[in-house]
Amino acid sequence: MRLREDMTPYRRRAGLLFLGVFAALVIILLRLFSMGVLHGSSWRKMAENNRLRTVPLEARRGRVYDRNGAILAENRPSFQLLVFPDEMQEPGRTCLFLARAGFGSAADLERLFRSRIGRSMAPRIIADDLSWSQVLKIRSHQSDHPELAILVGARRHYPFGKLAAHAVGYLRRISRSELASHPGLDPNALVGASGVEQLQNGTLAGVSGERKIVVSAIGQQLGVVSEKPPIAGRDLTLTLDMRLQNVAAKALGSRQGAVVALDPRTGAIRVLYSSPAFDPNVFTGHLTSSQWKTLSEDPSHPLQDRAIQGVYPPGSTIKPFYALEALDEGVATPGWTIHCSGSTVLFGHTFHCWRRSGHGVVSMVRSLEVSCDIYYYHLGVNLGIDRMAAWLGRFGFGRATGSRLPGEQPGLVGTPAWVERVRHHRWYPGTTVSVAIGQGPILVTPLQLTRAYAALANGGRLVVPHLVEGSGPDRSTPLGIPPEDLDIIRRGLTAVVHGSEGTARRFKDLPMAGKTGTAQVAHLKEGSRGKDIPWKLRHHALFVGWAPLGHPRIVVGVVVEHGGEGASAAAPVVAAVIRAALGEGPSPVEAAPAAGNTAPRSVGAARSP
Amino acid sequence: MLASLGRVMGSHLLGRQLLWGVLGIVVLWLVSRFSSVVLYRLAPIAYGAALALLVAVLIVGNVRSGTRGWFVLGPVSFQPSEIARLATALMIAAWYAGRKDMRFTAGSVAVLVFLIGLPVGLILLEPDLGVALTYLPIALAALWIGGLPARAWVAIGVAGILLAGATWTWGLKPYQKDRILTVLEPARDPFGAGYQVRQSKIAIGSGMVMGQGLGRGSQSVLRFLPAQHTDFIFAAWAEATGFAGGSLLLAAYALLLWRISRTALVAKDRFGLVISTLIGAWLAFQILVNLSMVVGWLPTTGITLPLFSYGGSSLVTTCAALGVVSAVWRDRFVNV
């Protein structure tokens, strides 16, 4: 080591080096100042979000009862799997773990994650109705998977299954587009997808709450910070009578079709059954895509509610309304007769009666009793299509009934104006002849048809069908039809069951009036009837009837698709429901309005066929 | 801080670190008793011994997280690469002191590169890239102090960029690349590679001005903050004590570096000046790199905060280095 060496350049360089170090320390200090002082509160909020989790608290959905208190929809406790997307580090690993815990294949789960979660950070329920072993598997690996949590929630259950599926409806998860348009909604919410569940969703759903909890980095729950309790939904009582619904379903059996029963005095729906039906319970759990495919692609369309969405040509069931119109407009009198020889020539075409041998001399009452087509061909020509269509409109045909049931179809009442607008051709006069016997451009839903018959039964008031008990004031409208005209029609419809030639005379032991209908699906060759016709081309069978004769308490309408003859296929179903309905004595609640409102003076006349 | 550290680390780790601390103070005091002449004479021996230990650890050392770099003696384990850093710094300072001419030639650079390259090469064989990286400030400071001409710095810069490019392409594992990309774009992967840095930044920021209180910071207590007694200890401290505590700690480091720089500038000889500067550069590098990492400016590398992070050999070596600086300071008026 040498003495007194010149160290100046070394000192200068060392000094510069340390100067650089201090400058860097100052920059770090500024960074700390910016983070802690200038932006501290936003970082503090992120720390809060780190340790605070918001867990949704489901609101109890209201129960649904039938009019006798039978439970149609209730809630059962169920374990749900909740995923916190912001805790999830590797979705792939989570999916693999869930696949091993028995939640389906990892690929399916990843697809589900993408569709249910997407880019959202809100916790999502991704599986429902977990088994004990699934719960245990997740609980025992909780520390490895802080993104998963088990929630005790409620699962919708429909004790009657298929029996009330269409009327009560089912639930579905809220869609992403609905969430996007209503950001305040709970992303885990279930909403009604059909039937009363959809119609009364606002009443049944309630308001979901939330709970803020403190968690550790491994997802351990340490305490509750705040809680907004959910508000339970309200219970609903329906007008439906499950006893009658059951009878209707049994009577219809495996055939496709629909049964509607109304209280003609109020419009309360007692039976709303569509066959084939589906089990709404499959929707409340975790519906797999294959289950959905099976349901939605079934050629018999089990998801369709035929009672309100199926449209059928009414066939002869439409005849009483034309007869009533003819009386009302003075086109015919009760004594006016025609001679039915089995066929007639109109507008250069030959039109046949369903009975090739003819009915002979036919008056109005007899025209209904034997369902003579020739009588109505002449009536239709004399009335003209415009007057007929307007008259049918008064009875609610061609538009929804006001039941507000989701998906209800308006049906169709064809007019020359409609034909020109939609089909772009002139109205053929022959079409009027078809419409006169309920064929051609006239389509009705079973609910519409039954409701129109309710107006015949209750003395001329068009009621609004409804499924929910006490749903507002009476919205029925009087049609202003003279009681003596109605009497004639009721006498004719009573003769259908109780007359010696009545098309439904095999049910004369019942105090029932009604009308058969057989609606053509395809034009069939001469003489081809019965079992040798392919099922798809067979006629639809219809029957609408009410009982008892004096003070009708129930109107039942039945359509059996491709069932053949109305009298043999549909009328027995109506008879079964009416028999069951009459078996029970009228309750005091029912009896009271019956005496006051619906006892027109002429009822006594209608009683004798 | 001790109490909160105790909660976080467990009293077992805390007691152990206190023991290391006592040992460190003893070492500091012992080393500061040497005169700088003795240190100068001891430098080649220490360097040789360090190289021998580095060779030995490759043969009989224990493997931890894929690195054969530890001697384990019962409950105590230590890393020879930490000691070797001080020995290398001493060797370089001694070489500077023994030089006859003042000019910095290509030959001098070669000698420096050789002196540093030897231990670094052995450490890379372990392989421990993180520790090898801590020799970088010593190498650069040694070249700087010798007065490397500007064009040579340009050459080093270009070589550094080329080396970085080559390392990126062939040398780094995907997780290492992720860490670097995360610095450039923090939102890139907030739950993977970016998770640690994100939690660290949240901890520092949420301390706000006065902190959440010792042992009360949610990030630390609820364990959102990773490696909070080693790499991310500053984040835990800043969360508990806020900007106030953070800047206080920063001031303490500044004071320490200020004392080291004073020592370098008033040293009576070249050996004292160079060794103080090298030790200052080494500590400053660790402090700045660690702090840049916890505030999200540099990728996570595993470089700890000297004197504060948990780790025995690091603490004792740092104390020994400060002992050397202290010895230089004591000798500043002595003429030998």
Residue A592: burial class (beta carbons within 10 Å; 0-12, 13-18, 19+): exposed
Nearest in space to A205 (alpha carbons), one of A315, A73, A94, A83: A73
Which residue among A10, A47, A214 sits closest to B202, beta carbon to beta carbon?
A47
CATH topology of domain A52-237: Penicillin-binding protein 2a (Domain 2) (3.90.1310)
- Residue A3, chain B, CB below 8 Å: the answer is yes
**H or E segment and range at residue A74:** strand A71-83
The Cα–Cα gap between A157 and A73 comes to 6
DSSP helix/strand/coil, A516: strand
Mutation target to probe the B interface, by most B beta carbons within 10 A, among A6, A17, A49 is: A17
DSSP designation for A144: T
What is the band of A119 on the pLDDT scale with cuts at 50, 70, 90?
low
Write the pLDDT tens digit of every residue in A441-453.
Answer: 999 999 999 999 9
Best of B199, B208, B256 to disrupt the A interface by mutation (most A CBs within 10 Å)?
B208
- pLDDT number for residue A602: 35
For A283-297, give one letter per residue: b (16+ CB within 10 A) or e.
bbebeeeeeeeebee
Token pair belonging to B317: 């070596």
Under an 8 A CB cutoff, do A50 and B224 touch? yes
Lowest mean pLDDT among A204-218, A482-496, B153-167: A204-218
The chain A residue lying nearest B192, using CA atoms, is: A89
Q: Does A32 touch chain B (CB under 8 A)?
A: yes
pLDDT band at residue A253 under the 50/70/90 scheme: very high
pLDDT at B61 over 80: yes
Using CA atoms, how far apart are residues B92 and B274, in angstroms rounded to an integer?
8
pTM, whole model, 2 decimals?
0.63
Work out the average pLDDT over A271-275.
95
Closest CA to B137 of B265, B303, B9, B294: B303
- Could you tell me the sign of the dihedral formed by the alpha carbons of B96, B102, B107, B109, in that order? positive
Classify residue A422 by its DSSP letter.
I
Return the pLDDT at A261. Answer: 96
Question: What mean pLDDT comes out for the span B238-264?
Answer: 93
Instruction: Look at residue A318 and tell me whether its pLDDT is greater than 90.
Output: yes
Q: How far is B60 from chain A (nearest CA, A)?
A: 36
Q: Which of A133-147, B219-233, B264-278 has the highest mean pLDDT?
A: B264-278
Q: What is the mean pLDDT of residues A495-502?
A: 92
Contacts of A13 in chain B (CB under 8 A): 144-145, 147
Counts of helices then strands in chain A (DSSP H, E): 24, 23
For the beta carbon of residue A360, count every other beta carbon within 10 angstroms: 14
Mean pLDDT computed over every residue of chain A: 85
CA of A84 vs chain B CAs: smallest distance (Å): 13
Of A605 and A134, the structure prediction assigns the larger pLDDT to A134
pLDDT at A438 over 60: yes
Q: What are phi and psi of A162, to 5 degrees?
A: -60, -25
Report the pLDDT value the prediction gives residue B184, as an integer from 0 to 100.
74
pLDDT of A56 strictly over 50? yes
The complex's ipTM works out to 0.90
Burial B268-292 (b: 16+ CB within 10 A, else e): bbbbbbbbbbbbbbbbbbbbbbbbb
Contact state of B270 with A10 under an 8 Å Cβ cutoff: yes
Q: Say what the pLDDT of residue B190 is.
A: 60
The yes-or-no answer on residue A471 being catalytic is no
Amino acid A596: pLDDT: 37
The shortest C-alpha distance from A37 to chain B (Å) reads: 5
Name every chain B residue with its beta carbon within 8 A of the beta carbon of A21: 257, 261, 280-281, 284, 288
- Greater confidence (A601 vs A468) lies with A468
Q: Is A82 helix (H, G, I), strand (E, B) or coil?
A: strand
Q: Is the pLDDT of residue A108 over 90?
A: no
Residue A396 binned pLDDT confidence (cut-offs 50, 70, 90): very high
Query: Please, are residues A489 and A323 in contact by the beta-carbon 8 Å criterion?
Result: yes
Distance of CA A594 to the CA centre of its chain: 30
**Segment of A72-86, B13-27, B208-222, B276-290 carrying the highest mean pLDDT:** B276-290
- End-to-end Cα spacing for chain B: 44
Nearest-Cα distance to chain B for A93, in Å, is 13
**Surface-to-core class of residue A252, CB atoms within 10 Å of its CB (0-12 exposed, 13-18 middle, 19+ buried):** buried
| DSSP for residue A528 | -
Of A20-24, A247-251, A422-426, B44-48, the poorest mean pLDDT is in: A422-426
- Beta strand A513-519 with A540-547 is antiparallel
Residues in chain B with CB shorter than 8 Å from the CB of A46 are 202, 205-206
Instruction: Quick: pLDDT tens for B12-26.
Output: 677 788 888 999 999
Tokens of A223: 């305490």
Tokens of A445: 């839903």
Tally of residues, chain A: 609
Cα dist from A317 to A397, A444, A578, whole Å: 13, 11, 18
Give the closest-approach CA distance of B92 to chain A in angstroms: 14
pLDDT at A293: 80
Cβ–Cβ below 8 Å for A28 and B247: no
Min Cα–Cα distance to chain A from B43, Å: 14
CATH fourth-level superfamily of A242-277+307-607: DD-peptidase/beta-lactamase superfamily (3.40.710.10)
Q: Report how far apart, in Å, the C-alpha atoms of A539 and of each of A299, A314, A530, B267 are.
A: 19, 11, 10, 115
Of all residues in chain A, the one with the smallest CA distance to B277 is: A14
Q: Which helix (H) or strand (E) holds B77?
A: strand B76-78
Rounded CA separation A388/A436 (Å): 8
Q: What is the pLDDT of residues A460-472, one digit of tens each?
A: 999 999 999 876 6
Question: Looking only at Cα atoms, what is the longest distance across chain B?
Answer: 60
Q: How near does any CA of chain B get to the CA of A184, in Å?
A: 26
Q: CB-based burial of residue B230 (10 Å sphere; 0-12 exposed, 13-18 middle, 19+ buried)? A: middle
- Render pLDDT for B138-186 as a digit per residue (tens, 0 to 9): 999 999 988 888 888 899 899 989 988 888 888 777 777 877 777 777 6
Among the listed residues A37, A274, A45, the one whose alpha carbon sits nearest the alpha carbon of residue A163: A274
Which of B206, B265, B280 lies at the smallest CB-CB distance from A11? B265
Pick from A187, A537, A131, A492: nearest CA to A319: A492
What gap in Å lies between CA B269 and CA B297, rounded to an integer?
38
Least confident interval from A38-47, A218-227, A458-467, B221-230: A218-227
Cβ–Cβ contacts within 10 Å for residue B102, how many?
11
Max Cα–Cα distance, chain A, nearest Å:
150
Name the residue with tokens 């004399």: A382
Which residue of B207, B247, B261 is in closest CB contact with A18? B261
Q: What's the confidence (pLDDT) of residue A608?
A: 32
Q: Which of these, A434, A332, A438, lies nearest to A379 by C-alpha position?
A: A332
Given pLDDT bands bounded at 50, 70 and 90, which one contains residue B334? low
The answer for residues whose C-beta is within 8 angstroms of residue A440's C-beta and 6 or more apart is: A313, A414, A431, A434
Contact A25 B250 (CB under 8 A): yes
**Cα–Cα distance between A513 and A603 in angstroms, integer?**
13
A466 CA: distance to closest CA in chain B (Å): 54
Other CB atoms within a 10 A radius of the CB of residue A528 amount to 9
Alpha-helical segments (H) within A329-460: 364-370, 373-383, 385-394, 416-418, 429-435, 446-457
Residues contacting residue A193 through CB under 8 Å, at least 6 positions apart: A169, A170, A171, A172, A283
The answer to whether A250 contacts chain B (CB < 8 Å) is no
- Any CB–CB contact under 8 A between A215 and chain B? yes
The whole-number average pLDDT for the span A195-207 is 90
Whole-number pLDDT of residue B12: 64
Category of B66 on φ-ψ map: left (φ > 0), alpha (ψ -120 to 50) or beta: left
User: Are B192 and A89 an interchain contact pair (Cβ–Cβ within 8 Å)?
Assistant: yes
CB contacts, 8 Å: B192 with chain A:
89-90
Q: How many C-beta atoms lie closer than 10 Å to residue A180's C-beta?
A: 9
Indicate which of B101, B153, B222, B292 best probes the interface with A, i.e. most A CBs within 10 Å of its own CB. B222
Mean pLDDT of the region A65-76: 92
Q: Report the pLDDT averaged over residues B232-261.
A: 93
Catalytic residue among A208, A274, A316, A434: A316
E-assigned strands of A402-549?
412-413, 442-443, 461-462, 477-478, 513-519, 540-547
Question: How crowded is the C-beta side of B37, counted as CA atoms within 13 Å?
Answer: 7
Nearest chain A alpha carbon to B334: A3
Q: State the average pLDDT for chain B.
A: 85
Domain locations in chain A? 52-237, 242-277+307-607
Asked if A595 reaches chain B (Cβ–Cβ under 8 Å), the answer is no
Q: Determine the residue among A6, A19, A30, A32 to mutate to test chain B binding: the one whose Cβ has the most chain B Cβ atoms within 10 Å.
A: A32
Other beta carbons within 10 Å of B51: 18
pLDDT tier for residue A80 given thresholds of 50, 70 and 90: confident
The closest CB to that of A11, out of B273, B280, B292, belongs to B273
Comparing A273-277, A472-476, B308-312, the range with the smallest average pLDDT is A472-476
Residues of B in contact with A44 (CB under 8 A): 205-206, 208
Helix axes B233-266, B270-294, angle to 10 degrees: 160
Report DSSP letters for A564-606, one per residue: --IIIIIHHHHHHHHHHHHHSPPPHHHHHHHHHHS--TTHHHH
pLDDT, one tens digit per residue, over A365-381 is: 999 999 999 999 999 99
A93-101: average pLDDT: 85
Q: What is the mean pLDDT of residues B82-101?
A: 89
Mean pLDDT value across residues B194-209: 85
Q: What is the pLDDT of residue B18?
A: 87
Q: What is the pLDDT of residue B118?
A: 94
At residue B238, does pLDDT exceed 80? yes
**Which of A333-347, A521-535, B189-203 has the weakest average pLDDT?**
A521-535
Stretch B280-308: mean pLDDT, rounded? 90
A8, pLDDT greater than 60: yes
Instruction: Look at residue A551 and tell me whether its pLDDT is greater than 60.
Output: yes
CA B207, chain centre distance (Å): 26
Work out the end-to-end distance of chain A between its first and last CA atoms, rounded to an integer number of angstroms: 140
Residue A569's pLDDT band, with cuts at 50, 70 and 90, is very high
- Looking at beta carbons, which pairs linking A73-77 to residues 24 or more positions away fall under 8 Å? A73/A156, A73/A157, A73/A158, A73/A168, A73/A197, A74/A156, A74/A157, A74/A159, A75/A154, A75/A155, A75/A156, A75/A157, A76/A154, A76/A155, A76/A156, A76/A157, A77/A152, A77/A153, A77/A154, A77/A155
Residue contact A50–B247, C-beta within 8 A:
no
Distance from C-alpha of B138 to C-alpha of B119, rounded to nearest angstrom: 12
Q: Do A21 and B288 touch (CB under 8 A)?
A: yes
pLDDT score at A593: 38
Whether A414 has a pLDDT exceeding 60, the answer reads: yes
Give the pLDDT of residue B335.
58
The backbone region for A424, taken as left when phi is positive above 0, alpha when psi lies in -120 to 50, beta otherwise, is left
| Segment A576-600 mean pLDDT | 56
Helix ranges (H only) for B190-311 are 195-206, 218-221, 233-266, 270-294
Over 70: is that where the pLDDT of A219 sits? Answer: no
Q: Do A50 and B219 touch (CB under 8 A)?
A: yes
DSSP-assigned letter for residue A261? E
DSSP for B143-159, written as a single string = HHHHT--HHHHHHHHHH
Question: What average pLDDT does range A127-139 have in this prediction?
Answer: 85
Paired tokens of B48: 């040789």
pLDDT band at A531 (very low <50, low <70, confident <90, very high): low
Contact between residue B331 and residue B268 where contact means Cβ atoms under 8 Å apart: yes
Q: Burial level of A356, CB count in 10 A (0-12/13-18/19+)?
A: exposed
Chain B contact present for A12, CB below 8 A: no
Determine whether the interchain pair B288/A217 forms a contact, defined as Cβ–Cβ distance below 8 Å: no
